[in-house]
Amino acid sequence: MINTGKLAGKTVFVTGASRGIGKAIALKVAKDGANVVVAAKTAEPHPKLPGTIYTACEEIEKAGGKGLPCIVDVRDEKAVQSAVDEAVKKFGGIDILINNASAISLTGTAETEMKRYDLMHSVNTRGTFLVSKTCLPHLKKSSHAHILNLSPPLSMNPIWFKDHVAYTMAKYGMSMCVLGMHEEFKPFNIAVNALWPKTVVSTAAVIMLKGRGSHDFSRTVDIMGDSAYAILTQDPKTCTGNFFVDEDVLRKAGVTDLKQYACNPDNADKLAPDYFLDDNIPAIFGAEAKKAAPTGQIAEVFKKIDGILSPETVSKTQAIFAFNVSGEEEGKWFLDLKNGGGLCGHGDPPAAPDVTLTMDTKNFLGLFSGKMKPTTAYMMGKLKIQGNLQQAMKLEKLMKKLEDK
C-alpha cells in the first residue's frame, strides 16, 4: 500500500498508539506528513511491553510526520479532554480519530473478576464513546473527518460469547458505537467505520496471551496500518458505516500480495484465523472438532458429510443439528448448516442447535444409509426430535446426497 500524500497536514488522534496496531497506523499516516497525537498511558518503559508515547513520537517524526505525545488513560475524562485541547492548540484541529485502545481477558464468567470486567468495559466501550464525544466538536469542523474503531463486525452467534462473554460485550460496545454514530454523524460528513483482522496479528499483547509460537502463524501489524490508511484516504461522505476486514480492504485497493504481511512467509498459507468473523468458524472450531473425532462407522458418515458441505447447502438449510447417539458408538455429533460453508464434527455444536436428534447407533446408520426414512423412524419412536420439525426434515435431502455418493 503506497502512500499518496492525501493525509498531509491532517491531524490524527490515535489512542493506544505507543505500540502495536495503534503505532502501525500512526506510522503509516505519518509517512503522508500527518500530525499524529499519540494518546496512551505508557510514559515510562514497561517491563514486558516495548515502546512509550515518546519513542513512538520519535518514530513518527522519522517517518515524516509530526508527533505529540500525550499521557492519556481513556477512562479519565479530564485526561482525554486535556489531550484533545493540547492537540487543537498545537495543530489547529482534529481530522481523524482512531479508537484503538483496548483491554482484553479471554475468561469465562466465573473466572472474570469484576475489576477486570470493569476495566474492559471502561476502556473498550466507555473509552471509545468518551474520546469520540470529546473529539466531535473538532471533527465537525474538518473537511476530511473520520472515526475508525478497531472492533469486529457485530454477530449474534453465541459461539463468540460462550467462552468470554465479558470481553465480547466490551468489544462489541465499540462496534455498536460505529452502528449508532455512523447514522448520528452522517449529517456532519463524519465517516464512522470499524476495522478487524482476518487472521491473528502479532502484537506484544497477543504474544503474552498466546505465547511466542503464535508469532510464526500471524501477520505483522503493517496489514492493519495499510488497510486503515486505505479507509482513511477515502471520501468520508461515501465511506461510512462499514465493518471492514483488513484482507478485503486491501484487495479492493489493489493489493494482491498478502504474503508480504506474514511474520513467517513459509506459513503464509497456515495463518491462524482471528475471532469474531463468522466465516472463520469452520477454520477455528472445525480443526478442534476433527482432532477430537473418534473412529468408527459414524465417524465415516460424518467424513462423507464433510465432503458434500457447501455454502449453497448452508443457505438453503440455515439450521444447526445436534445428534445424541446411544449404543455401540455412543457419543455426541453436530452438523452446522447455518454458518460459513458448513461444519460437522464430534461433540457439541459451536452454537445452540435448532434441532436435537436422539437415536441409537443402528438407527443412525440406517437413516444415513437410506435404509430407514426419518419420518418412519420418528413415527415408530426410533428417532426423537427436539426443536423445529420442519428443519429436521431438511436432513432428508442431505441423506439423499450421501446415498447418491
Q: Annotated catalytic sites, by residue?
A: 167
DSSP 181-212: HHHHHGGGTEEEEEEE-SB-B--HHHHHHH-G
Q: CA of 52: how far to CAs of 59, 109, 134, in Å?
A: 11, 33, 23
Alpha-carbon distance 266 to 153, whole Å?
29
Rounded to 10 deg, the angle between the 297-308 and 395-404 helix axes is: 100
Cell of 258: 498478502
**In angstroms, rounded to a whole number, what is the distance separating the alpha carbons of residues 112 and 239?**
37
What does each C-alpha distance from 260 to 157, 230, 253 come to in angstroms? Answer: 32, 17, 15
Helix axes 165-185, 127-139, angle to 10 degrees: 20
Kindly give, in sequence order, each residue whose CB lies less than 8 Å from that of residue 366, ignoring residues fewer than 6 positions away: 372, 377
Three-class SS of residue 97?
Answer: strand
Can you tell me the distance from the alpha carbon of 283 to that of 396, in angstroms, rounded to the nearest whole number?
Answer: 27
Task: Find out whether 359 and 332 touch, Cβ atoms under 8 Å.
Answer: no
β partners of residue 70: 39
Q: How far apart are CA 392 and CA 377, in angstroms?
A: 12
